[in-house]
Copies of this chain bind each other. A is one copy, B any other.
Amino acid sequence: MGETGKEEYKIQSFDSETQKLLKTALKDPSNVDLEKVANIIVDQSLKDSVFSKEAGRICYTIIQAESKQVGQSIFRRSLLNRLQQEYKDREELRSRSLQAWICYVTFICNIFDYLRVNNMPMMALVNPVYDCLFRLAQPDSLQKEEEVSCCLLSCQGPVKSTAWGVHRSLHCFVLSHLLFLLKVDCLVLQLHRIGEQLEKMNSQRMDELFSLLRDGFLLQEGLSSLSQLLLLEIIEFRAAEWKMTDAAQKYYYSEVTD
């Protein structure tokens, strides 16, 4: 499957009218409202975790096409404006929906990865991206999530019986751990993809981020084994200068044989 095939795959989750709009934006950008297109892409990224991981490529293609066809950057400006707006309101977004917030982090990191100026990442995105990753790494997050999910559940109605109470507590527990894992997973995935470039742009903040990760690892109680595994792997990965040693590859990614 070639480049075009891949682009089409990403668009399939939209309705047919939007698909048509996006296809035009990719091939003939001067004929569509590019601000609208930017908003459609950001809106979808905040809802769809798969799309948020790949949206950088489609944005890059539209930017290239617009620059080639009309020598302008309306799409790029609209995209960055919208990203900045969401960045400003990130705490609101986060409290409204943890999943949307994780999608946002994934999306902004993907944009950081794809949008380049003279083959360098965009300086303006460095600090927003770091801020998002720091927020994901914050050690108080596990407890907060627990509170949030418990609150959510307690809104569903009064306790009906002890068994129901126990069931709800268990639900809280599982949910809070899943949410936490989702965040660690997102953090680690982003660091795998853009950690090296990000460190080149500002190594001091990367040092601080990894201090936070080590703290989380060493001091945070109740981390699941899987979260610990993900964190240990990224700590080793960075120590080896963002490379995977053969031994680490074998340890973390081979199936258990015995």
In contact, B225 and A219 (Cβ under 8 angstroms): yes
Q: How many copies does the complex hold?
A: 2
CB distance from A134 to the nearest CB of B (A): 16
CB contact under 8 A between A250 and B207, given known A235-B232, A239-B236, A239-B239: yes
State the Cβ distance, A228 to closest chain B Cβ, in Å: 5
Smallest CB gap from A241: residue in B: B240
Chain B residue nearest to A239 (CB atoms) is: B239
Contact A217 B239 (CB under 8 A): no
Q: Which chain B positions have C-beta within 8 A of A228?
A: 217-218
Contact mask for chain A residues 219-239; partner B; CB cutoff 8 A; 1 contact, 0 none: 100000100110010011101
Q: How many residues of A contact B (CB 8 A)?
A: 25
| Interface residues in A200-227 (C-beta closer than 8 Å to B) | 203, 206-207, 210-211, 214, 217-219, 225
A173 at interface by CB-CB < 8 Å: no
Q: Are B239 and A214 in contact (CB under 8 A)?
A: no
- For A211, A219, A229, A248, which residue has the most chain B Cβ atoms within 10 angstroms? A248
CA distance A225 to B225 in the complex (A): 16
Least distance between A244 CB and chain B CB atoms (Å)? 10
Distance, CA A208 to CA B173, complexed state (A): 35
Q: Which residue of B lies closest to A208 (CB)?
A: B247
Q: Are B240 and A229 in contact, with the CB atoms below 8 A? A: no
Residues of A bordering B, CB below 8 Å: 203, 206-207, 210-211, 214, 217-219, 225, 228-229, 232, 235-237, 239-241, 245-248, 250-251
